[in-house]
Amino acid sequence: MRIDGRHYRDEWLPNFYPGKKIGDRIVRVSRTGRTVVLTPSEDAQINEFFMATDLFERLERTGHIITSANASTVFHDLSTWLKGTYDGPGLHIVIPTRRCNLNCTYCHMYPQPMEALRTTTDLQSDTIPYIARFIMDSPRNTLCVEFQGGEPFLNFPGMIQTIDEIRKLNTQARKDIRFEIVSNLMVVTDEHLSYCKANNIGISYTLNGPQNVHDLFRITRTGAGSYNTVVRRLDDIRARFPGVLAPSPLCVVTDDNIRDLKSMVRYFHEAGFTDIGILTLKNLGNARGHVYFNMHEYIPHYIDLLDYLYVLNKDTDAAYSERIVRLALMKIFGAVNPLFIDWRNPIGYVSNAIVYDWDGEILPVDEARSFRDVFTLGNVRSMSYDQLIRRNSTFDTVNLSIRDRDPTCRECAYNPYCGVSPVLHYSRTGRLAPEPHVSHECILIIAVFDWIFRKMLDDPLPLLKMAPEVSVALAAHLSERATQDFTVCAT
C-alpha cells in the first residue's frame, strides 16, 4: 500500500505542542524551542494518514517530528535548549540591609527607615562567612553575586566584607565571579563609586520616566519626590565614572501610568536610551492593598507601545528595543532558552538562583522575601548547600512552574517559551499553582508572541532590530522570505 513521496504515521512521533493560527499561517513550536510556520494545508497533514515527503523531511530536520534517523539529534537539541537548567545556581542575591532612604509606593519589599536598628535590619559580619561558603559551594564555575536592598550602599562595609570573603575562598576555586549592585543612586558617594569602578562592579538603577511619573512612586518617607536628585546623580556618575552604571534603566508600570507608556519611552529616548526594561507591578511589600495593576487593561497599551517601537525601527535607522520582546526573540531564534531566571519552563528558582536575606535566610527568589513564612528554605547557619539541594521540598516552586503539569498548558503552542512564577501567583491569588489565563505571566507571554509572529509574517526587519543578538545574515534571510513560508531553526 505504501507509495513513493509519502510517509506514514508509523514512521514518526510528534514533538511539538498544538499550533497557533497567526493570520493565514500556523505556528508550531517544538519541545526543543524551534519554531516552524506552516500553511493550513501543510499543517493539516500532521493529523492525516500520511505526510508528503518534502514536509516530512522538513519537520524531521527541525525536530518537530522524531524519527529513527533524528532521535539522537532531537534529544541533544533538548539538552541544549535546557542548557543551564540543571547546572546549579549561578545568580546569588545577597541582601546587605532592609533599610532604605526611599519608601517607594510600589516597593516589593517592606523597606525600613534609615535610622532603624541595624541589628534587626542589616547583614551582620558573623553571618557573612556562612553566605560566602554557601555561594562558593554552588557547582557552577560562573557566578554573579548581586546586592539588593533596601538600599545596599547603606551597608557598604557589609558588601565589602562579603566580596572579600568570596574572593578569599575563590583563590583556590578559581571561579569566574562578577558582582553587581541594585541602587537608587541617592546615597552613593565617590568612595562607593571609586570602589565599584576599581573592582568592575556594575550598578543597576530605576528611573521611572519623566518627573511627574517618577515622583508619583519613588518617594522619601516624607512624601517628597526623588526625581531631581536621581537625575542629577545619574548625569554626574555617567560623566565621572563611565561604565559603572547599567546601559538602560528599569521602569515599573502600575495602573497609574499604564496610559503613559509611549510618553515614558519617548522620555527615555530623548535621554539617550534606546532600550528599556518595563517591569509590571508586583503585588508585594508596600504595594499590597495600596497600588494596583490590571494585566488585561495593560496589554492593549503595551501592544500599542510595541507597535510604536516597530514603526520607529521601520521608518528610521535607529534600533529601539524593549526587554521582554528582546528576550522573546532570543527564545525564538536561539538554540538555548535564555537563562533569564524569572522566565523559564521550569523557572530558575534554586536551580539557577538563590537569595540570602539580611539574616542568612535562604529563599528561592527575591520576591519571596515578602512571604518568608511561606517560602523559606532554611538558613545558611544551619544548612549546607548540599543539604538544600538534596531535599525534594526545595524544588516545590520549580515543580509548580512546569507547564506540562496543566492540561490547558499542554494545549498551548507557546509552552516551551513560557515562564510563570508560583511566588507572584501566590501574591495575587493566595494559590501556589499558576493558572493558565489567570497568571499575569501567561497572559503577557501569549500577547507578546502573538504580536511577534504577526510582525514576523508581515515585515521582520524592524522586529529583528529589537534583538541585536540576531545576526545580520538571519535578518537578510528572513527579508527574502518575508512573504513565504519559513522555518526558524537554532543555529
Which residue shows C-alpha cell 526587554? 323
pLDDT in tens, 282-301: 999 999 999 999 999 999 99
Q: Same domain for 10 and 39? A: yes
In a domain, 16, yes or no: yes
List the 35-38 sheet strands across, edge first.
Answer: 20-22, 25-29, 35-38, 487-488
Per the rule left: phi > 0, alpha: psi between -120 and 50, beta: everything else, 176 is beta
Cα–Cα distance list, 152 to 134, 217, 287, 366 (Å): 20, 20, 21, 14
- Per DSSP bridges, beta strands 13-14 and 65-66 are antiparallel
pLDDT greater than 90 at residue 248: no
Write the DSSP symbol of residue 468: T
Q: Same domain for 200 and 170? A: yes
Which three cell numbers, joined as nine digits, stand for 14? 510528534
Q: CA 103 to CA 150: how far, in whole Å?
A: 9
Average pLDDT for 143-167: 98
Q: Which residues span the domain enclosing 62?
A: 1-68
Q: Which of 68, 91, 121 is the last residue of a domain?
A: 68
Residue 156 maps to which CATH number? 3.20.20.70
Q: Same domain for 202 and 115? A: yes
Q: Same domain for 388 and 295? A: no
pLDDT band at 474 (very low <50, low <70, confident <90, very high): low
In a domain, 204, yes or no: yes
**In whole angstroms, what separates CA 163 from the centre of its chain?**
25
Q: CA 161 to CA 284: how far, in whole Å?
A: 30
In a domain, 73, yes or no: no
Q: Same domain for 218 and 297? A: no
Tally of helices (H runs) and strands (E runs) in the chain: 18, 18
pLDDT in tens, 32-41: 999 999 999 9
User: Which residues have C-beta within 8 Å of that of residue 231, sequence separation ≥ 6?
Assistant: 207
pLDDT in tens, 35-87: 999 999 999 999 999 999 999 999 999 999 999 999 999 999 999 999 999 99
The pLDDT value given to residue 468: 78
In a domain, 76, yes or no: no
Whether 334 contacts 342, CB under 8 Å:
no
Q: Is 270 exposed, middle or buried (0-12, 13-18, 19+ CB in 10 A)?
A: exposed
DSSP string, 321-385: EEHHHHHHHHHHH-SS----TTS-SS--BTTTEEEE-TTSEEESSGGGGGGHHHH--EETTT--H
pLDDT in tens, 312-352: 999 999 899 999 999 999 999 999 999 899 999 999 999 99
In a domain, 457, yes or no: yes
Whether 276 contacts 284, CB under 8 Å:
no
Whether 274 contacts 321, CB under 8 Å:
yes
Whether 108 contacts 140, CB under 8 Å:
no
The pLDDT value given to residue 256: 95
Q: Which of 38, 68, 98 is the last residue of a domain?
A: 68
Q: Which of 360, 377, 398 is the last residue of a domain?
A: 398
pLDDT in tens, 270-286: 988 888 889 999 999 99
> How many CB atoms are located within 10 Å of the residue 303 CB?
15
Q: Same domain for 93 and 193? A: yes
In a domain, 77, yes or no: no
Per the rule left: phi > 0, alpha: psi between -120 and 50, beta: everything else, 3 is beta
In a domain, 74, yes or no: no
Side chain identity at residue 378, one-letter code: G
Question: Model's pTM, two decimal places?
Answer: 0.93
Q: Same domain for 182 and 56? A: no
The pLDDT value given to residue 275: 87
The pLDDT value given to residue 479: 52
Which three cell numbers, joined as nine digits, stand for 333? 531564534
Q: Same domain for 227 and 133? A: yes
The pLDDT value given to residue 211: 95
The pLDDT value given to residue 277: 87
User: Which residues have C-beta within 8 Å of that of residue 157, sequence separation ≥ 6?
Assistant: none
Q: Same domain for 391 and 413? A: no
- Return the exposure string of 193-214: e unless at least 16 CB atoms fall within 10 Å of the residue's CB, then b: beebbeeebbbbbbbbbbeebb
Q: CA 252 to CA 344: how far, in whole Å?
A: 21
pLDDT in tens, 157-214: 999 999 999 999 999 999 999 999 999 999 999 999 999 999 999 999 999 999 999 9
Number of domains in the chain: 3
Q: Same domain for 236 and 167? A: yes
> How many CB atoms are located within 10 Å of the residue 122 CB?
23
User: Which residues have C-beta within 8 Å of that of residue 208, sequence separation ≥ 6?
Assistant: 214, 216, 217, 218, 251, 252, 257, 264
Share the mean pLDDT of the chain: 93
User: Which residues have C-beta within 8 Å of that of residue 229, sequence separation ≥ 6?
Assistant: 186
Whether 478 contacts 27, CB under 8 Å:
no
Q: Same domain for 379 and 411? A: no
Which three cell numbers, joined as nine digits, stand for 388? 538544600
Which three cell numbers, joined as nine digits, stand for 159? 558588601
Side chain identity at residue 319, one-letter code: A
Q: Same domain for 388 and 415? A: no
In a domain, 75, yes or no: no
Catalogue the E-assigned strands of 134-274: 142-147, 176-182, 202-204, 250-253
Helix (H) or strand (E) holding 198: helix 190-198
Which three cell numbers, joined as nine digits, stand for 330? 532570543
